[in-house]
Structure 1
Amino acid sequence: MFVDALGSGLYLPFTLVFVQAVTELPVQTVGLGLTVAAFAGLVANPLAGVAADRFGARQVLIASYLLRVVGFACYPLVHGFAMFIVIAAVVSAGDRSFYPANSAYVADHAQGAARDRLYALVSTGRNVGLGIGGLLAAGAVQLADKAGYQVIAVLNAASFLIAAVLLAATGRSGRANRRAVRQRPRDLFAGYGRVFRDRTFRRLTFAELAFTGGHSVIPIAIPLYATVVLHAPAGLLGLLFTLNTILVAAGQLPVLRWQQRARRTHAMALAGMVFVASFGAFALAAALPAGPALTVGLVLAVVLCTLGELLHARPSASLAAALAPEAYRGRYLATYQLTWAVSAVATPGAFAGLIAFDARLLWLILAVATAVASVALLRLAATLPATAQRA
């Protein structure tokens, strides 16, 4: 997971710039192509859930790595829009297949408190990898300019190949996946009907959709809000992103220890209230004068938002895994992860439109949606078994 994140960190900080430099296509064309490719990821998400139940989460993870090996190795060869769409769709399919398979693979390896710790450890490793990858990417571009992006494409493909080899070498599959292989082929997609009929899981999934907005604020909303509305210096953005990365990497395990005795629904609801406070802090930052006051205001808002991320991430993943029947775990977690895929498609345009119209409306909508989701989780708590609520 660390090697995978190291490769992802090489291009995630400036995806649009990276793809434009490597393919030499116009920026508008690249933006349109990435949007179209994102829809391919939406399709890949439920397919990955079926494949995880049929063949095992580990095999789907390896396939997601190999898809991205092919995609990033081919990026430097792209010289037309049609080929770019195909390659970007392959990368998007690999990205979106990874998340449900990753959740199912971790869930297959541990239960109870051990599963919570493993989710937290994987998240820590991924964030450290993303941070280091971002630093390496900045150095490559600074030293080699345009050729640096070509180097990033090759290194990224190599990192996913190494991750696939490492994962293949483990030779370990989950107990649930071995049992699920016996399912009849005609029942594979019918299994999603079971997911949609599960009222408790459906309510949890809708609540999760609101929380994805909070997780999207720092990477998507803040760059535009800080520069367009607050007229903050570009250098401050780097500080805010670095602060977020350090806090997430360092805070996962301490927050996990603090949450050990808390009910998962209540921990998520608390995270929602912290998110709401951070949205209020971002809105109030517009009233601060430029200079030290604005910097301090944004730093405090980012700290609150990051705390919301930390408080939400572990109980959310663990609760979803605990509610998923073993034989259908891939499909359950693919449905849960689909909220993040939908958010990845919808939030860039929605955030940009709201900030251009009235940024206060963005913070109000996010606050109301997250508060409603938090209340829904507290009401859901009474219907859940104790084994799902606590590690």
Structure 2
Amino acid sequence: MNRPSAPARRRFIAASFVDAVGNGIYVPLTMLFVHHLTGQSLTAIGTGLTVAGLGALAAMPAVGVLIDRHGGKRVYTGALALRAVAFALYPFATTYPAFLAVALAVAVAMWASAPGQQSLIGDMADGAERDRLLAWNRSLRNGGMGFGALAAAAMLALGSGGYLAAALALAGAFATAALLVVRIPLRATNTRRPVQADGGYRTVLADRRYRRLTFANFLIGFGYTAQAIAMPVFLTRDADLPDAMAGIVFAVNTALVAGLGVPVARLMARIRRGRGAALGTAVFALSFAAFAFLPALDGTTAVIAVLAVAVVYTAGELIHSAPAESLAVHSAPDHLRGRYLSTYQLSWSLCRTLAPMLLGLLLDAGTWQLWTALAAAVLIGGAILLHTDRSPARPATQREPVPATA
């Protein structure tokens, strides 16, 4: 079994945490951050960020090719370094073309980080050790996001200078993470790449089992995006709860995922990955059904009910995320891991691109329509995962690279 050395593990964990802290600073402040640094209007910023997101979507296939040719470590390092440079340049992006260029660099680097990081984990370890690293990464991602959000709040207390401080902090955080990743030692056998990967994206698209897995993730992804997009509006408008409840629910979710991510992942490792992920979607659907009944409650009862349902929602996330991510990484053949994981990342990216529009339409349609649609999406995704779990494994000829001829 391939096991990472203790220094490699420590440096990866440190880099993952610092990376997550940077995301925690940037994500909650995105619109305000860009507005104060560039002086652009909110409408122009929203349009520019959408264009940048679409550009990042178009770049994902190239990211997969780069990972397969140069390895996840180099691509992940490059993505972190690119974000460091981009955030350092944000205070100087006062013209609209400059803002678009910086926003595109941030978006491409942000979405390239996930497959690069997962591919690095695949190069560092395999089997149960790989699952443990994935579990640590998920927990650190949530803990770092929460810590970064607190840091962002402290920076905002500084007034207008806080946004410049945030830009410098982001540049420093991602530069530090890049330096940590550079120093992760890999065995020579894990850094060699075939001269020419057999099949390329044709092999990925022909892999029926992985196509199902990716489509299931696209559907289930709406359950994850609902927390940031639909839940705050629902809790304040439909359930008539204080604005602070959305932040409390987010804090509860972040704390539980950060604290219980590794233990739950160990428990889920005893179950077949597809079945475990499908079980998580059933718990997700149960929480969505409970959310639909919250507007009928009021006062203290409503607050207690929201917190209880938030715990159920988080349980669904914990149960689903560990086996689902492991299934995606383990199902990708080594010589095409970059292309496979970039395709899988596209399902997340496309979901996050469409979610604001689709969830907004469902919020306007009514309370039960939103939660019914979300429950149906995750349950269909869970059913696909169950079917994928029963599908035969890929033939060995697709998992191994074809030796290059002289």
8 Å Cα contact 1:109-1:174 kept in structure 2: no
The residue aligned with 1:356 is 364
Deviation at 1:385, TM superposition (A): 4.4
Q: Measure, in 2, the Cα distance between the counterparts of 1:49 and 1:259.
A: 29
Distance 1:224 1:86 in 2: 32
Residue from 41, 44, 51 that aligns with 1:29: 44
Q: Any unmatched runs of 5+ in structure 2?
A: 1-15, 395-406
**Does the alignment pair 1:282 with 2:282?**
no
How far residue 224 of structure 1 moved from its aligned partner, in angstroms, is 2.0
Contact 1:41 1:93 in 2 (8 A): yes
Distance 1:173 1:43 in 2: 32
Please identify, of 60-69 and 252-261, the stretch whose mean Cα deviation from structure 2 is larger: 252-261
Which residue of structure 2 lines up, in the alignment, with residue 172 of structure 1?
186
Give the structure 1 partner of residue 4 of structure 2: none
**How much does 1:332 deviate?**
0.6
Of 340, 347, 350, the match for 2:355: 347
CA deviations on 1:225-259 (whole Å, 9 max, x unpaired) are: 22232232122222111111100101111211221
Alpha-carbon shift at residue 174 of structure 1 (Å): 7.4
Is 1:336–2:344 an aligned residue pair?
yes
Q: CA RMSD for the aligned pairs?
A: 1.8
Among 213, 219, 228, the alignment partner of 1:210 is 219
CA contact (8 A) 1:218 1:302 kept: no
What letter is aligned with 2:231?
Answer: I
2:306 aligned partner: 298
How far 1:171 moved relative to its partner?
4.0
Range 274-283 or range 347-356, more displaced: 347-356
Measure the CA separation in 2 of the matches of 1:167 and 1:134.
Answer: 23
- 2:147 is the alignment partner of 1:100: no
Task: Point out the more displaced range, 163-172 or 264-273.
Answer: 163-172
**Does residue 1:161 correspond to 2:161, yes or no?**
no
Q: What number of residue pairs does the alignment pair up?
A: 380
* 1:68–1:209 distance in 2 versus 1, CA, 3 Å: same
Between stretches 91-100 and 64-73, larger displacement belongs to 64-73
- Partner of residue 389, structure 1: none
Match of 2:249 among 233, 240, 246: 240
Q: Are residue 368 (structure 1) and residue 381 (structure 2) matched?
A: no
Please list, as runs of the form range in 1=range in 2, the aligned pairs for 1:1-391 lying within 5 A after superposition.
1-142=16-157, 144-172=158-186, 175=189, 177-180=191-194, 182-183=195-196, 191-289=200-298, 291-385=299-393
Verify the 8 A CA contact 1:265 1:381 in the aligned structure 2: yes
Following the alignment from structure 2 to structure 1, what is the Cα–Cα distance between the partners of residues 344 and 376?
21
Work out the CA distance in 2 between the residues paired with 1:237 and 1:379: 35
Amino acid at match of 1:357: A
Distance 2:286 2:392 in 1: 28
Give the drift of 1:351: 1.1
Amino acid at match of 2:193: R
AA paired with 2:162?
G
Cα separation, 2, equivalents of 1:175 and 1:121: 24
SS at match of 1:170: coil
User: TM-score when scaled to structure 2?
Assistant: 0.90
- What displacement does 1:355 show? 0.7
**Deviations 1:204-234 (CA, angstroms, capped at 9, x unpaired):** 1111111111111212221222223223212
**What letter corresponds to residue 314 of structure 1 in structure 2?**
A
Deviations 1:57-110 (A, max 9, x none): 100001101111121111111222222111111100000110111111111111
Contact 1:123/1:252, CA 8 A, preserved across alignment: yes
CA contact (8 A) 1:120 1:314 kept: yes
With structure 1 as the length reference, what TM-score do the two structures score?
Answer: 0.93
Q: 1:266 to 1:87 in 2, by over 3 A?
A: same
Structure 1: gaps (5+ residues): 387-391
Per-residue CA deviation, residues 183-211 of structure 1 (Å, 9 max, x unaligned), is 17xx6xx5111001001111111111111
Return the offset for 1:176.
5.2
Give the whole-Å Cα distance in 2 for the aligned partners of 1:240 and 1:277. 17
Read off the aligned partner of 1:121 and give its amino acid letter. W
